[in-house]
Chains A and B, each alone.
Chain A
Amino acid sequence: DGGITQSPKYLFRKEGQNVTLSCEQNLNHDAMYWYRQDPGQGLRLIYYSQIVNDFQKGDIAEGYSVSREKKESFPLTVTSAQKNPTAFYLCASTPMGSGANVLTFGAGSRLTVL
C-alpha cells in the first residue's frame, strides 16, 4: 500500500462537526485530487491542486475545504456546511507532463455521519 496513504480508513462524525481527512504521497507527484464516491454516481471531483499553495474547486466543492502547504500532503476538511457528507472519499495524485492523466489512488476513507 505504498504511494498514497489516506487516514483514517473509517471515521464517524456527529452532525455539526468538521472533520479532516489526511492524504500523503511519496511519489513526488505534482498534482493531487480529492474524489467523492457514492453508490451509482461514480467518482466526483471535489478539489484538485497542481502545485503547492494552489488549488481549484472541482464539481462538488461546496462544504469542503483543502490546503496544499507541502507537495506531499493534501488534506480535505469536511465542514458542517456539507449537507450529506456520508460517503467514501478517495485521494489521488498524478505527475505533470506525459503521465498527467494516470491517477494513482489511495485506499480511501469512509466517513459516516451519525
Chain B
Amino acid sequence: GENVEQHPSTLSVQEGDSAVIKCTYSDSASNYFPWYKQELGKRPQLIIDIRSNVGEKKDQRIAVTLNKTAKHFSLHITETQPEDSAVYFCAASRTTGFQKLVFGTGTRLLVSP
C-alpha cells in the first residue's frame, strides 16, 4: 500500500520568510496530492491540492510542486504570516474509483513575528 513520509516535523521561521514542507510517496499509481492545514484546536481543512497531470499549482502565497519521477511533492508558503502557524499534512491517493487518502505525519509550522 501507499506510504507517505513528511519532513520536517517542525519548522520555525520569521514572519516574511518562506517555508517549504516536503513529502515523498511510495505508490507510483498515486495521482492526487492534497495539503491540509490544522490550526490549534480546529479541524483539518484543505488548502491546496494537485493532480499528476500538472507539475505546479499556485494559490496566492501558497504553491505545491510535484515531481512524479522522484515521487515527491512540496508545499511552499511565501511571505509567511503568524496566522500561517499550524500543523500541515500532506496526503496521497489514486483517483480511479474509490481510494482512501494516506496522510503524512504532519509538520508543525511556527511563524514568529
Contacts and interface: CB of A to CB of B under 8 A. Distances in A.
A102 B99 CA distance: 11
A101 B95 contact: yes
Contacts of B42: 107
Chain B, interface size: which category? 20 to 34
Contacts of A63: none
B25 to A, nearest CB: 13
B105 interface: yes
B74 interface: no
Nearest to B93: A101
Chain A facing B: main interface SS: loop
A48 B89 contact: no
Interface in A64-114: 90, 96, 100-103, 105-108
Contacts of A45: 100
A57 to B, nearest CB: 11
Interface of B: 6, 9, 32, 34, 36, 42-46, 49, 89, 93, 95, 98-101, 103-106
Interface of A: 31, 33, 40-45, 48, 50, 58, 90, 96, 100-103, 105-108
